[in-house]
Amino acid sequence: MLFAGIDIGSTAAKAVLMSEDKREIVARNLMPSGWNSRETAERLLSWLMSLGYSRDDIRIIATGYGRVSVPYADSTLTEITCHGKGAAFLGGDDLTVIDIGGQDTKVIIIKNSRVIDFVMNDKCSAGTGKFLEVMANRMGLTLPEFFALAEHGKDIKISSMCTVFAESEIVSLMGLGTPREDIACGAVGSVVSKVATLVSKKASSGKYYLTGGFCESPLLIRKLSETLGSEVFTTPDARFAGAIGAALLGK
């Protein structure tokens, strides 16, 4: 029996297949969640099946906010439990996991590889991937382009916390001729400071570990480490943390 985890987030859908002993990631796949989570889920199933196993050989656990759209899943779990488990697999048994997602950001405290506490951002999208997506859009860039640009920028302060106000602030900064790389760098800084506030709500234990789509952004990791005053660890696989955790929790 193999174990698959499907994590349908608000922006990206992730799937991993893990070996029978759950020690190894056999295959991974990432695609945009798109408009229709149901279709995305079906595409991930076809991908799984294309790996040469039959459906009966695999136990499938779904997570993420689109987990209800995975009709073929054997069971479902919330993204908090799964992210915690997945992060512990990647980063160790005692962690403060920081997950910056497309729609929400969460801080999960892990002790002995178990979730013992968590906090999520409130309704507002400041401090989430959405904030950067909106800013990138406004500047006519894709997210990777936006991050590439931000790497060369100087830190300027975007004072509005609210995404809507920050967007108009950026428009006026552009109007004033502020270099685009500085604006991008400032926007990343804004997300980092919001995330750090969320982290400070929970007494930190163990090391900081970043999961989610931004684990490949050196700038964000650097800034977050600086703000928290302690190194933030991550690995490219950390964006699969939810899916990995789901697979690990399959029975």
Partner 1 sequence: MLSLPKNFETFNEARQKSFMALYQAKERGKKIIGTFCSYTPVEIIHAAGAIPVGLCGKSEQGIAEAEAILPKTICPLIKASYGMAITDQCPYFYFSDGILAETTCDGKKKMYELMGKIKPVHVMNLPQSKDQALAIDAWTEEVKRAAKFLEDLLHVSITPEKLHDAIVYRNRLRRAIVDLYEVAKIKPSPVSGYELSTVAESADFHFTDDDLIAKIEKTTRDFKARTRNDGANRPRVLITGCPNAGVRDKIIKRLEELGADYVCADTCSGPRVQKFMIDENADPYRAIAERYLKINCSVMTPNEARFDDIKDLVKEYQVDGVIEIVLHGCHTFAVEAYTTMNIIQNELSMPYMRLDTDFSQSDGGQIETRLGAFIEMMIAA
Binding site for partner 1 (CB under 8 A): 65, 77-81, 104, 114-118, 120, 122-123
Nearer to partner 1, 114 or 154 (CB): 114
Q: Give the integer Cα–Cα distance in Å for 146 and 59.
A: 38
Least CB distance to partner 1 at residue 156 (A): 31
Query: DSSP character for 27?
Result: E
Nearer to partner 1, 11 or 78 (CB): 78
Cβ burial of 34 (10 Å; 0-12, 13-18, 19+) is middle
Q: Give the integer Cα–Cα distance in Å for 196 and 192.
A: 6
Query: DSSP character for 216?
Result: G
Least CB distance to partner 1 at residue 78 (A): 4
Least CB distance to partner 1 at residue 174 (A): 32
Least CB distance to partner 1 at residue 196 (A): 19
- Which tokens go with 34? 């798109």
Terminal Cα-to-Cα distance of the chain (whole angstroms)? 10
Beta-carbon-side half-sphere exposure of residue 179 (alpha carbons within 13 Å)? 11
Q: Give the integer Cα–Cα distance in Å for 125 and 142.
A: 18
User: How far is the CA of 53 from the CAs of 13, 35, 182, 249, in angstroms?
Assistant: 21, 28, 49, 20
Least CB distance to partner 1 at residue 80 (A): 4
